Structure 1
Amino acid sequence: MPERRRGAALEKALLDAAWEELTDNGYARFTMDAVVQRAGTSPPVLYRRWSNRDELVRAAVLHTLSDHRRVELPDTGSLRGDILTLMRELNATRVQLVTVISVQLADYYQQTGTSPSDLRDSLLKGRRTTVDVLLDRAVGRGEVKPERLTERVRSLPFDLLRHDILMTFAPVPDHVLEEIVDTVFLPLVS
């Protein structure tokens, strides 16, 4: 007989099951019953925590984003090296995550009136991002002019990475990452 899950272990199992259901079937075919079955639990266990599928989907996405946030903070000694290292790490580990959040949840965003940025903002509220740390270091080293670091410019290399992932549903070739950094991003900030 399997050990009974409780507390954080049970909640993680439910959220992982919900994420797997979203990944496999998308929001349009996502049901609470499918999550119950996938998690090997009962409906009351799920409904005590989330009263409807929108709440569960949001919780599952935030849980998954939280798990995926842990990226090593690069420190190569240069902005170019740091940004490329971070982009390579994200490129190697986040293709499925970006695809699911953007494509599989399209109906969720439409029905709830939210967007992927709303989910990201919920997770990052009040926190400094890895990019903030890298750019602050570059300013300190004199590599970057702080007045050029608008929000759009700060996010540009990662916006372009995400765009390429969504156009191909595959990792972006390394020469494209270098082109983004060397011919688009660095000239804007130096």
Structure 2
Amino acid sequence: MTERRSRRRGEELERAILDAAWEELKASGYASLTMEAVAARAGTSKPVIYRRWPTRAELVIAAWHREMPTRPVAPDTGSLRGDLLALFTRVTKRADSIMSESIAGVMGEAFRHPDIAELMRKRLASAPFPQVIQSIIDRAAERGEMPPVTITPRAARLPFDLVRNETILNGETSRTAITELVDDVYLPLLRGLAAG
């Protein structure tokens, strides 16, 4: 008698599909990613994937979201500038790990399809940036580097937005660019918020 293989369901199946999508994205890029390739890598069928993620962009956003740490720890270097440089570097590494072509591909889908744009907005709104930035600011205030300030959601997302823009426009974010984004953009913004 042959042993029947158990079928994956629920979280196990979703994890396999999202892992496969992430690996395909890294191997092929967004433009070449196909549901067929993801299904083959995951050991499932296209209809199973389409029931969960009706479009390629939705699948890629879900895979990207799964790769993001759920509770990132705020850097603690002992200075506000050092913490921000460490944070911007971390965000840059994450952006580099999904390649600018992939980001641009998903953004292109978002421009063409309002439902994809709304999904992206929801994913970004649920990202843990505000807590991380607020933790960095609170520590800086405790050290006397700046007055206490409550960060707005838009200002909290700015490191991600700046790095994403830099990556899309230039293909990468250099150490020089990270330093400029912190020194010329984000630190002045925080000081302005604190002064206001």
TM-score (norm 1): 0.72
Aligned to 2:98: 97
- C-alpha distance in 2, partners of 1:111/1:157? 25
Q: For residue 124 of structure 1, give the secondary structure of its aligned residue in structure 2.
A: coil
Give CA deviations for 1:24-61 in whole Å, capped at 9, x if unaligned: 2536x6554343223222345435x526236xx42542
Return closer, same or farther for 1:111/1:154 CA change in 2, 3 Å cut-off: closer
Asked if the contact 1:17–1:38 (Cα under 8 Å) also holds between the matched residues in 2, the reply is: yes
Aligned to 1:134: 136
- C-alpha distance in 1, partners of 2:44/2:170? 37
RMSD over aligned Cα atoms: 3.4
Give matches, 1:154-169, under 5 Å: 154-169=156-171
Q: For residue 94 of structure 1, give the secondary structure of its aligned residue in structure 2.
A: helix
Asked if the contact 1:98–1:162 (Cα under 8 Å) also holds between the matched residues in 2, the reply is: no
Give CA deviations for 1:132-180 in whole Å, capped at 9, x if unaligned: 221232233332344584444444444322221111212x222222222
- C-alpha distance in 2, partners of 1:158/1:60? 18
- C-alpha distance in 2, partners of 1:11/1:135? 37
Misfit runs of 4+, over 6 Å: none
Aligned to 1:65: 65
Q: For residue 76 of structure 2, give the secondary structure of its aligned residue in structure 1.
A: coil
- Residue identity opposite 1:119 in structure 2: R
Q: How many residues get paired?
A: 182
1:10 to 10, 13, 20: 13
- C-alpha distance in 2, partners of 1:17/1:163? 27
- C-alpha distance in 2, partners of 1:149/1:112? 31
Aligned to 1:173: 174
2:122 to 109, 118, 124: 118
Asked if the contact 1:22–1:100 (Cα under 8 Å) also holds between the matched residues in 2, the reply is: no
Aligned to 1:33: 36
1:100 deviates by: 5.0
Asked if the contact 1:148–1:189 (Cα under 8 Å) also holds between the matched residues in 2, the reply is: no
- C-alpha distance in 1, partners of 2:29/2:102? 13
* Structure 1 unpaired stretches of 5+: none
Return closer, same or farther for 1:44/1:22 CA change in 2, 3 Å cut-off: same
Return closer, same or farther for 1:77/1:60 CA change in 2, 3 Å cut-off: same
* Structure 2 unpaired stretches of 5+: 192-196
Return closer, same or farther for 1:91/1:6 CA change in 2, 3 Å cut-off: same
Give me the identity figure in percent: 32
TM-score (norm 2): 0.70
Aligned to 1:52: 54
- C-alpha distance in 1, partners of 2:7/2:80? 45
